[in-house]
């Protein structure tokens, strides 16, 4: 059971192919989920244009801030593997007095790679995934220190598939 404050900024954390978007779809409303792909598409007409990431996250943070100011749970569907990416989310959450929560999807690199190879929208090589996996291992030790108030780590496809979210009342 994953305890999430009813008002939180939830950062999904996981390598490509770990199942973040799938998890987001099954547990949250489409409008609660802000995906980096979607915002890259908005600003650059191409969800995979990595050069558009800075602009895309700018807009994503802006929308997240508007949602949190209105008291709406917000989920960020991005890899969130880099400390600076997560720092941006912790900052937005703090600016709105909202708890930042991390849900880590930790799957074996080989499983993610197998899934990736079947996706027309993902064309990067294995070494990219290996780098992401290394970044994830580094991230695991530092999330709490970075300001995430709760860090839920789901290990393996079964644990991810069977996870349930329980909302905690704030008052």
Residue pointed to by tokens 């937005």: 92
| Helix/strand/coil (H/E/C) assignment for every residue in 51-73 | HHHHHHHHHHHHHHHHHHHCCCC
Which range binds ligand GTP by CB under 6 A, 12-20, 39-47, 88-96, 147-155? 12-20
- The window from 11-19, 38-46, 123-131, 147-155 that contacts ligand GTP (CB under 6 A) reads 11-19
Task: Please state, in angstroms and rounded to a whole number, the distance separating the CA atoms of residues 171 and 147.
Answer: 21
133 contacts ligand GTP (rule: CB under 6 A): no
Residue 16 near which of Mg ion, ligand GTP, none (CB within 5-8 Å, type-dependent): ligand GTP
Touching ligand GTP, residues 26-65 (CB under 6 A): none
Smallest gap from Cβ 107 to Mg ion, in A, equals 13
Sign of the CA dihedral with 127 first, then 132, 134, and 135 last = positive
3-state helix, strand, coil in the chain (%, to 5): 50, 20, 30
Half-sphere exposure of 10 (CA within 13 A, CB side): 28
Size of the site for ligand GTP (CB under 6 A): 15
What pairing do the DSSP bridges indicate for beta strands 74-77 and 33-35?
parallel
**Among residue numbers 94 through 123, which ones bind ligand GTP (CB under 6 A)?**
115, 119, 122
Judged by beta carbon distances under 5 to 8 A according to partner kind, the member of ligand GTP, Mg ion, none in contact with residue 34 is none
- Residues in the site for ligand GTP, rule: CB under 6 A? 14, 16-22, 79, 115, 119, 122, 157, 160-161
């Amino acid at each position: 059971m994953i305890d999430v404050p009813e008002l939180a900024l939830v950062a999904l954390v996981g390598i490509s192919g770990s199942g973040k978007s799938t998890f987001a779809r099954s547990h949250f409303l489409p409008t609660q989920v802000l995906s980096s792909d979607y915002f890259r598409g908005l600003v650059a007409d191409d969800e995979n244009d990595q050069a558009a990431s800075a602009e895309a996250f700018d807009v994503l943070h802006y929308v997240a801030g508007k949602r949190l100011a209105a008291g709406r749970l917000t989920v960020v569907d991005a890899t969130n593997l880099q400390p600076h990416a997560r720092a941006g989310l912790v900052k937005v959450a703090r600016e709105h007095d909202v708890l930042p929560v991390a849900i880590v999807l930790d799957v074996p690199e080989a499983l993610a790679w197998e899934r990736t190879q079947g996706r027309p929208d993902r064309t990067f090589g294995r070494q990219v995934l290996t780098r992401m996996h290394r970044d994830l291992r580094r991230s695991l030790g530092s999330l709490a220190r970075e300001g995430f108030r709760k860090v839920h780590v789901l290990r393996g496809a079964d644990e991810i598939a069977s996870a349930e979210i329980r909302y905690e009342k704030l008052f």
